[in-house]
Amino acid sequence: MDLDNTDRFDRLIMIKYGELTTKKDNRKLFIDKLYYDLIYKLAGLDYSITKEMARMFIEFNSEDFDIIKEKMNHVFGIHSYVLAYKVKSNKEDIEKELLKRIKKEKFKTFKVETKRSDKNFPIESTDFSRKMGGLILTNIKDISVDVHNPELVVNIEIRRDYTYIYFEEFNGIGGYPYGVQGKGLLMLSGGIDSPVAGYLAMKRGIKIDCVYFEAIPHTSLEARNKVIELVKKLNNYGHSIRLIVVPFTEIQEAIYKNCDQEYVITIMRRMMYRIMDRLVRRNKAHVIINGESIGQVASQTLTSMEVINSVTNLPVIRPVACLDKLEIIDISKKIDTYDISILPYEDCCTVFVPRHPVINPVLDKCIREEEKFDYQEMIDKTISNLLYIKVNDEDNEYKDIL
Amino acid sequence: MVYLDYSATTPVDKSVLDSFNNVSENYIGNPNSLHKLGLESHKLLEASVNQVASLLKVKPSEVIFTSGASESNNLAIFGVINEYKNRGKHIITTKLEHSSVLEPMKYLEKNGYKIDYVNIDNEGKVDLNHLKSLLSDDTILVSICEVNSEIGLIQDVNEIGKIINNYPKCIFHVDGTQAIGKKKISLDNIDLYSFSAHKFYGLKGVGCLIKKDDIKLSPIIHGGKSQTIYRSGTPTLALDVSLSKALRITFDNFNDRYNKVVELNKYLKEKLSNINGIKINSNDNCVPHIINISIHSVKPETMLHALEQDEIYISTKTACSDKEDESLSVLEFTKDNKLASSSIRISLSYLTEKEDLDKFINSFMKNVNKLKGLDSNGLR
């Protein structure tokens, strides 16, 4: 039977899960989540998807491969995937398909690797590899077998109904399916580090919402739009991410007016953490995530982190804490946030920067400075004036106009 | 009324006009202003650029809004000439081009450039061997229209682009004004691509030049960055949005609309083939939207005005060409002066119905009988 003529789709992607399958109890949950994430990402394309405990299959028209590949590279939980040809699991069909497909490949040396997950198939793996190797050698000129360093590896995976033949394997972006670990709130400033921190947290299966502290008129709407663009980029790796805009002007001005100039950044960060603590609990999240990187600025020294962190007992995840700046930049380029991050708009961390911010703040001093104004009331007021922006809706914003 | 002059211009789509009005009223900010209103306009401008880019499968940075195809063609030609004047003095084009390509070529010829017109074969296609023989290290620009406006002849611009790729210093401009909405297009292997919104149910006064990122262009309107640096002036947001929308509607409905026009084309050609004394100039290598015919016994302009009496509207030559007697395109394709001086163009749309064509045929037959022999320019 020539499947090319009978099947609606001519190509097939076989997905390998990797780390997912080692988590025995959650395995089904993880695979289901990956399955639905793929359906969500591939919406609008003509394809069919099936899931099994060890593999997932996407059948599609070959002209869509580049689009699908691009989308797969934005789905967490895929360890690797291959572009495979599918045949019925019997020797004659496999031979016919194998010869047809391998004639289009360019190579001088090769080896055959067979994986027989269906033990009812009458020929053992090594035996089958040898037979197929022989078949290839008799049908194609000027090639030889090289088991150590072949130019082409012919993979034959024999499963119960169908056998999959493939020559090339692509890496996925790994991680856990988006959101399987629960939710966290990301402090998103607009700089290079925080989007990268968000991406890395998402990669480990954390569903995120983003929190942006805004100090209009000291910061502009352009700065907010920049953050919205960053959220959109992160949303490419997940879905339904919301941006929570915190009106921070009043608190920030109060700090600037009342507190020791050396301490304004430290106290500002403590206020942000206090607000984050409240937001995490309100939004049924579990952790605060931010882009702090050890030693990068005055508020990110170990003593600063200690003093700032002491206002909350929630876990604070700092995915880029131990990365060098250049390593962070590499990731930001990979996830396409770098060019947005470097746009030159002031954010609230850069508006009021004292000439000499304290590097080793003292906790008692912070508390004394904070007693100079009623921040608790201001925080309450701020939290009752939050603005929620859903970036998913943004795409349809101009539906009527465009 | 029977309107059969859709290649001259199309009526605007109601929803496109609605968008234009909506944006004109509600987005009052200059996209380059720093305040909120400016920002809102800027975001909408970006969204409309992004939509054009994704429909044409190019990058947003490659979309330049202009006032129409004539400006796009001029920007493409003079932009290249001024940017790359040290590379060479040789340009290749065809005699099937619109006047907004041919006139700049005449101007450049007077100013020391060597212009070659590549031959057209019997099918109406660019003679690729002749093109290859004309291309040299000195060639800086090749400009060819994807679909000719008078006869509808299609050029395989991607094949031509591949040939030009062998000359890395040479830039390939394609005038796609009559192609969009009339055939599937691909901008691979093309450096510059011109088109105009009013040919696909958009508004008059807006067009586009697609400029691939890897080539440079000198602006022809200097004045700093607007939507792009290539064409200064306050961004025409409402017009740009209307183009973007018209393009999306055209692409979304391409298959249905195209198939309908193919049917209409077949129907009309069959009717026309039963009439003595005319020759159908458009062949199978033409878009179905354009049917060019030469009439043996009646002067084309007389026929145009006679049909007009019955509220039927067609054109002789293109609306843009100057008032010479002959159609350059028909002459180039048929090499026959008589055919060239007696041609009319009927252009169809998905809005056309068979009854419209029946009315046209009836009026046409009536007027042929009435007018034949009454003027001396006919072929007889």
What values do phi and psi take at A19, rounded to 5? -55, -30
pLDDT in tens, A29-41: 889 999 999 999 9
Q: In A236-247, which positions are buried (b, 16+ CB within 10 angstroms) versus exposed (e)?
A: bbbeebbbbbbb
* CB B294 within 8 Å of CB B339: yes
| Beta-strand pair A316-317/B278-280 | unpaired
Residue A2: its pLDDT value, please?
40
Pairwise pLDDT comparison (B226 vs B76), residue with the higher score? B76
Q: Does A67 touch chain B (CB under 8 A)?
A: no
The CA-atom distances, in angstroms, between A245 and each of A197, A283, A390, B297 are: 18, 14, 11, 76
Residue entry with tokens 């998905």: B350
Distance CA A16, CA A135 (A): 28
Distance CA A81, CA A70 (A): 13
Distance CA B71, CA B100 (A): 8
Q: How many Å lie between the alpha carbon of A225 and the closest alpha carbon of chain B?
A: 9
Q: Does B248 touch chain A (CB under 8 A)?
A: yes
Q: Find, in chain A, the residue whose alpha carbon is nearest to that of B44.
A: A398
Q: How many Å lie between the alpha carbon of A60 and the closest alpha carbon of chain B?
A: 21
Look at residues B244, B121, B114 and name the one whose alpha carbon lies nearest to residue A400: B244
Pairwise pLDDT comparison (A117 vs B156), residue with the higher score? B156
| Beta-strand pair B2-3/A11-16 | unpaired
Identify which of B35, B36, B248 has the shortest CB distance to residue A402: B248
Residue B260: its pLDDT value, please?
97
Residue A391: its pLDDT value, please?
82
Contacts of the segment A365-369: beta carbons below 8 A, 24+ positions apart? A365/A260, A365/A263, A366/A263, A366/A266, A366/A267, A366/A270, A366/A307, A369/A258, A369/A259, A369/A260, A369/A263, A369/A267
pLDDT > 70: percent of chain B? 96
Residue A272: its pLDDT value, please?
97
pLDDT > 90: percent of chain A? 70
Measured between beta carbons, the chain B residues lying within 8 angstroms of A402 are: 19, 47-48, 51, 241, 244-245, 248
Distance CA A277, CA A312 (A): 6
Mean residue pLDDT of chain A comes to: 90
Q: Which residues of B are catalytic?
A: 320
Pairwise pLDDT comparison (B123 vs A118), residue with the higher score? B123
Burial of B127 (0-12, 13-18, 19+ CB in 10 A): middle
Neighbours of B249 (CB within 10 A): 18
Distance CA B285, CA B281 (A): 11
Look at residues B197, B192, B226, B223 and name the one whose alpha carbon lies nearest to residue B209: B192
Question: What string of DSSP letters covers A6-28?
Answer: HSS-SEEEEEE-GGGGG-TTTHH
Look at residues B250, B228, B186 and name the one whose alpha carbon lies nearest to residue B49: B228
Q: Which of B18, B43, B59, B61 to mutate to test the interface with A (most CBs of A within 10 A)?
A: B43
Which range in A214-218, B9-13, B293-297 is most confidently predicted, on average pLDDT?
B9-13
pLDDT in tens, B72-117: 999 999 999 999 989 999 999 999 999 999 999 999 999 999 999 9
* CB A266 within 8 Å of CB A361: yes
Q: How many Å lie between the alpha carbon of B226 and the closest alpha carbon of chain A?
A: 18
Cβ <8 Å between B244 and A402:
yes
Residue A9: its pLDDT value, please?
75
Residue A161: its pLDDT value, please?
86
If phi > 0 it is left, if psi is from -120 to 50 it is alpha, else beta; for residue A245 that is beta
Cβ <8 Å between A402 and B23:
no
- CA angle (B51, B65, B60) in 5-degree steps: 40
- CA angle (A374, A380, A383) in 5-degree steps: 140
Q: In B357-375, which positions are buried (b, 16+ CB within 10 angstroms) versus exposed (e)?
A: bebbbebbeebbeebeeee
In A147-254, DSSP assigns E strands to: 152-158, 162-174, 182-187, 206-214, 242-247
* CB B37 within 8 Å of CB B180: no
Q: Output Rg (C-alpha) for chain B, integer angstroms.
A: 21
pLDDT in tens, A251-285: 999 999 999 999 999 999 999 999 999 999 999 99
Residue entry with tokens 């002209």: A63
Alpha-helical (H) ranges within A204-292 are 221-235, 249-258, 264-282
Look at residues B194, B185, B197, B195 and name the one whose alpha carbon lies nearest to residue B16: B197
Which range in A18-32, B227-241, B254-268, B324-338 is most confidently predicted, on average pLDDT?
B254-268
Distance CA A115, CA A93 (A): 17
Cβ <8 Å between A221 and B23:
no
Q: Find, in chain B, the residue whose alpha carbon is nearest to that of A221.
A: B36
pTM metric for this prediction: 0.76
Any idea which of A177-181, A228-232, B52-56, B375-379 has the lowest mean pLDDT? B375-379
Q: Does B240 touch chain A (CB under 8 A)?
A: no
pLDDT in tens, A163-176: 999 998 999 999 99
Distance CA B192, CA B184 (A): 17
Residue B73: its pLDDT value, please?
98
Cβ <8 Å between A398 and B248:
no
Q: Does B244 touch chain A (CB under 8 A)?
A: yes
CA B332 to chain centre: 18
> Three-state DSSP class for B222?
coil
Cα separation of the two ends of chain B: 30
Measured between beta carbons, the chain A residues lying within 8 angstroms of B51 are: 402
* CB B329 within 8 Å of CB B150: yes
Residue B380: its pLDDT value, please?
40
Cβ <8 Å between B34 and A402:
no
| Beta-strand pair A11-16/A55-60 | antiparallel
Which range in A216-230, A269-283, B359-373 is most confidently predicted, on average pLDDT?
A269-283
Indicate if the pLDDT at residue B223 is higher than 80. Answer: yes
Q: Which of B16, B18, B27, B39 to mutate to test the interface with A (most CBs of A within 10 A)?
A: B39
Q: Find, in chain A, the residue whose alpha carbon is nearest to that of B245.
A: A402
Indicate if the pLDDT at residue B324 is higher than 70. Answer: no
Residue B225: its pLDDT value, please?
79
Identify which of B39, B51, B245 has the shortest CB distance to residue A222: B39
Q: Does A400 touch chain B (CB under 8 A)?
A: yes
pLDDT in tens, B147-173: 999 999 999 999 999 999 999 999 999
Indicate if the pLDDT at residue A337 is higher than 60. Answer: yes
Residue B224: its pLDDT value, please?
80
Indicate if the pLDDT at residue A362 is higher than 70. Answer: yes
Residue A352: its pLDDT value, please?
75
Q: Does A402 touch chain B (CB under 8 A)?
A: yes
Question: What is the value of ipTM here, to two decimals?
Answer: 0.75
pLDDT, mean of residues B223-242: 91
- CA angle (B66, B68, B72) in 5-degree steps: 65
Cβ <8 Å between A402 and B36:
no
Q: Which two tokens stand for residue A233?
A: 């980029």
Sign of the Cα pseudo-torsion (B356, B357, B359, B363, in order): positive
Residue A158: its pLDDT value, please?
93
Indicate if the pLDDT at residue B29 is higher than 50. Answer: yes
Q: Does A63 touch chain B (CB under 8 A)?
A: no
Look at residues A165, A11, A14 and name the one whose alpha carbon lies nearest to residue A87: A165
pLDDT, mean of residues A354-366: 91
Q: Does A44 touch chain B (CB under 8 A)?
A: no
Query: Which distant-in-sequence residues (6+ apart) come within 8 Å of B111 by Cβ?
Result: none
Q: Which of B240, B245, B252 to mutate to test the interface with A (most CBs of A within 10 A)?
A: B245
Categorize the per-residue pLDDT at A383 as very low, low, confident or very high, splitting at 50, 70 and 90. very high
Cβ <8 Å between A401 and B22:
yes
Query: Which distant-in-sequence residues (6+ apart) come within 8 Å of B89 by Cβ?
Result: B112, B113, B114, B138, B140
Measured between beta carbons, the chain B residues lying within 8 angstroms of A397 are: 47
Q: Amino acid identity of B15?
A: S
pLDDT, mean of residues A315-327: 97
Distance CA B95, CA B149 (A): 12
Q: Does B43 touch chain A (CB under 8 A)?
A: yes
Q: Which two tokens stand for residue A214?
A: 């805004």
Distance CA B52, CA B304 (A): 37
Burial of B348 (0-12, 13-18, 19+ CB in 10 A): buried
Burial of B253 (0-12, 13-18, 19+ CB in 10 A): middle
Measured between beta carbons, the chain B residues lying within 8 angstroms of A401 are: 19, 22-23, 44, 241, 245
Alpha-helical (H) ranges within A42-151 are 65-72, 91-102, 125-139
